[in-house]
């Protein structure tokens, strides 16, 4: 297994700088890298282009910013051709990257002001003599696999660091995605368990309320049966009442959730993050509440329907 396990490789050095455009200033994270970084990370160019090999060779003072940096610093997304200053050095914006919520890179850097420049240009504006390359991003070759590339890179680094495995770490995007999926699954199970317990407790509460209602309206049930109301009519009446109580609780819950989401969105508005209520989730909540009303209202309704008219009329003297 040789270097043919690798496809593209892009070194990355990171530096925090002060960015300025006109009267606006802000802290911006700059990544000094090379052209293959775009394809390796599967980033999407919104307007303009990404870094080219010629930019690296000529140490051009050009930069590619993310959508957040473009809108917050320059004022609009299509800012290709504008000049911004990074640590006092003027850079020409040649491209803007789309903030993609499905990209791991975009998720981790959500809300941050980010720029990508040729590594040589980063050296010129760095506060340190030479910014250290702390990471290498690489892709597997067309004939290879991610695991093969990971194993080969581990071997190279072990040779470089005299077999000291604590001196470096090698991770793959598949591993990161698996970790995130595992965390998401665990959270889904925990939240699902909490929701199930809440539904059961709420259902028991509704059943108790309906049992009290049936007891208080025993004479009414006897009168209705005496004038011809069938068992199914009594059963339907109390089932509908149980479902209505559940639907009222569902409406209050949905309204409260909407209010909480609006509040959170307002609080984190500076991070350019918004939370919205999904119509599918609302539909599922309504169906579940309807189901809970039927299940936990069935016993009290059946108890009311099975009452004998004579006994119901004699209830309470």
* Alpha carbons 128 and 118: distance in angstroms, whole number: 16
* Alpha carbons 85 and 105: distance in angstroms, whole number: 24
Q: Where are the domains of the chain?
A: 3-141, 178-314
What is the pLDDT, as a whole number, of residue 82?
Answer: 92
What pLDDT, in 10s, does the model give residues 259-274?
888 888 787 765 556 6
Mean local confidence (pLDDT), 220-229: 86
| Beta strand pairing call for 114-118 and 6-21 | unpaired
* Alpha carbons 209 and 282: distance in angstroms, whole number: 25
What pLDDT, in 10s, does the model give residues 180-195?
778 878 888 888 788 7
More confident position, 132 or 36? 36
More confident position, 159 or 211? 211
Residue 115 has pLDDT above 80, yes or no: yes
Which pLDDT band, with edges at 50, 70 and 90, does 97 fall under?
Answer: very high
Q: Which of 27-41, 147-161, 216-230 has the lowest mean pLDDT?
A: 147-161
Question: b/e per residue, 64-80, with b = 16+ CB within 10 A?
Answer: bbbbbbbbbbbeebebb
| Beta strand pairing call for 89-97 and 62-66 | parallel
At residue 164, the 3 state secondary structure works out as coil
What is the pLDDT, as a whole number, of residue 65?
Answer: 93
What is the pLDDT, as a whole number, of residue 190?
Answer: 87
Q: Which of 7-16, 95-104, 243-252 has the highest mean pLDDT?
A: 243-252
Residue 61 has pLDDT above 90, yes or no: yes
Q: Which of 39-53, 110-124, 266-280 has the highest mean pLDDT?
A: 39-53
What pLDDT, in 10s, does the model give residues 286-301?
888 899 889 998 999 9
């Amino acid at each position: 297994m040789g270097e043919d396990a690798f496809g593209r490789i892009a070194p990355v050095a990171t530096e925090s700088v002060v960015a300025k455009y006109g009267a606006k200033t802000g802290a911006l994270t700059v990544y000094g890298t090379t052209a293959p970084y775009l394809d390796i990370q599967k980033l999407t160019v919104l307007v303009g282009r990404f870094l080219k090999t010629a930019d690296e060779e000529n140490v051009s003072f050009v930069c590619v910013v993310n959508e957040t940096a473009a809108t917050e610093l320059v004022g609009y997304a299509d800012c290709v051709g504008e000049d911004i200053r990074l640590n006092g050095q003027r850079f020409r914006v040649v491209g803007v990257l789309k903030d993609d919520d499905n990209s791991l890179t975009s998720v981790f850097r959500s809300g941050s002001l980010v720029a990508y420049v040729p590594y040589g240009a980063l050296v010129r504006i760095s506060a340190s003599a030479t910014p250290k390359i702390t990471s290498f991003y690489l892709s597997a070759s067309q004939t290879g696999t991610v695991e093969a590339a990971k194993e080969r890179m581990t071997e190279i680094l072990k040779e470089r660091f005299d077999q000291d495995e604590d001196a470096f770490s090698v991770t793959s995007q598949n591993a990161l995605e698996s970790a995130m999926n595992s965390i998401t699954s665990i959270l889904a199970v925990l939240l699902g368990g909490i929701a199930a317990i809440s539904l059961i407790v709420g259902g028991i509460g509704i059943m108790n309320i309906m049992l009290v209602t049936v007891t208080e309206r025993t004479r009414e049930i006897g009168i209705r049966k005496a004038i011809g109301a069938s068992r199914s009519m009594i059963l339907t009446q109390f089932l509908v009442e149980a479902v209505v109580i559940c639907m009222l609780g569902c409406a209050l819950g949905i309204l409260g959730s909407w209010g909480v989401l609006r509040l959170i969105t307002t609080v984190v508005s500076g991070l350019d993050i918004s939370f919205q209520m999904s119509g599918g989730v609302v539909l599922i909540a309504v169906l579940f509440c309807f189901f809970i009303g039927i299940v936990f209202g069935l016993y009290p309704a059946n108890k009311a329907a099975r009452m004998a008219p004579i006994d119901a009329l004699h209830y309470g003297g």
